Amino acid sequence: MGTRPRPASTPRLESPRHQVKYWLLHSGPDHRGARAFGVSRHASKRRLPHGRDVSVGRVHSQRTMAAYLRVATAFAEWCHERHGIKSVPEQLKHAEWAQEWLDERGLAPATRAGYLSALLKLVEVVCPGRRQRWLSLRDELPGRRAPGNRAWPPEDVNRLVAHVAARDSELGLILRVLDATGLRVGEVVRHPTHWHHALHAGQVRDDHLWVIGKGGKERVVSLPPALARELAARAAGREPAALLFDATSRRLYHRVGRVCAELGIRRDGPHALRYSYAQRERERLLAQGLEPAEADRLVSERLGHARRRITRLYTATRSG
């Protein structure tokens, strides 16, 4: 005798873990969960002039998906154990339980915000009408503390780049790009396991780069003439959809760390060049007579930040 098929919109109440996976990965009403992770939130794609097919809209990486699943599952299992509620939709009626769960874990404000982002994604799929209440939990968190001045002094940057370039010309060129543009490392070179933001040959245009940053957001970044000519020559021998650099971020971080130790430069990764760029660019704009608010806005645009307050973490010049 065949079993009666269960409705597609309602998961069996097996365990909180299975329910979370159902909602976030497999289905949920109107397949919202399937659209939330791993693929574009918009079905359409278009071919950009530099030859890459990219999704139009925000794309969640596999690492983000795994982290959200881990956090949402831990919360659902805690609710079942602590409050005896097995149904995830019922659990999400109680936003105060999330506050209680986070308090027990003793997390820093930035980490709490990340955990709440994972739970918000679950709320958006399961019960979008309650999103505003959950969003207020994240808004009530204290602001992120500036990490101190991570920027290297110009003389240290010059020594670092020269020393790396002498041993590995490709890594030296990558460091020059990071220093001149303030790009994220992942917007220039590929990660060992993913490359969807890394520069491709077709993104080199005359004296600028067409960059695809976080969330699939595009921006145009100007290049110094000498650097533009070097990148154009490198791109000329590659297909438009081919990666511009063969190096990985892991190789870059490893070499920078070793050279910092050898030269006695404060130990940090190549991301510190983004801080150096932000502070140098803001000082240049202020010297041109721009108001601080306008200088901050322009630096924020050039860094690809969606929120101005994130840019202020990069331009802060106080010591750690």
Q: What does the pLDDT profile of the chain (320 residues) look like in tens digits?
A: 445 444 444 445 589 999 998 888 765 444 444 444 444 333 333 444 444 444 333 444 566 778 889 999 999 999 999 999 999 999 999 999 999 999 998 888 878 888 998 998 889 888 888 888 888 887 777 655 555 678 999 999 999 999 999 999 999 999 999 999 999 999 999 987 666 678 999 999 889 999 988 767 789 999 999 999 999 999 998 999 899 999 999 999 999 999 999 999 999 999 999 999 999 999 999 999 999 999 999 999 999 987 788 888 898 864 43
Report the C-alpha gap between 192 and 172 in whole angstroms. 19
Give the model's pLDDT for residue 140.
77
Strands (E), the chain: 45-47, 53-55, 204-205, 208-212, 218-222
Q: What is the pLDDT of residue 191?
A: 83
Per-residue pLDDT, 215: 66
State how far the alpha carbon of 301 is from the alpha carbons of 28, 85, 213, 297, in Å.
Answer: 36, 46, 12, 6
> Which pLDDT score is estimated for 27?
55
Give pTM, 2 decimals: 0.66
- The three-state secondary structure class of 243 is strand
| Closest to 72 in 3D by CA, of 125, 121, 139, 112 | 121
User: In the prediction, which pLDDT does 61 show?
Assistant: 58
* Cα end-to-end span (Å), the chain: 70
| Amino acid found at 12 | R
Angle, CA 318 vertex, CA 313 and CA 319 arms, to 5°: 110
The answer to whether the Cα torsion of 108, 111, 115, 121 is positive or negative is: positive
Residue 243, strand partner residues: 200
Task: Please name every residue paired with 216 in a beta bridge, in sequence order, or none if there are none.
Answer: none
The predicted pLDDT at position 83 comes to: 94
Which of 20, 27, 25 lies closest to 6 in space, CA to CA? 27
Neighbours of 294 (CB within 10 A): 12
Give CA–CA dist 97/80, Å, rounded: 11
- Cβ neighbours of residue 158 closer than 8 Å, sequence gap 6 or more: none
Type and span of the H or E element at 107: none
Residue 13: CA count within 13 A, CB half-sphere: 8
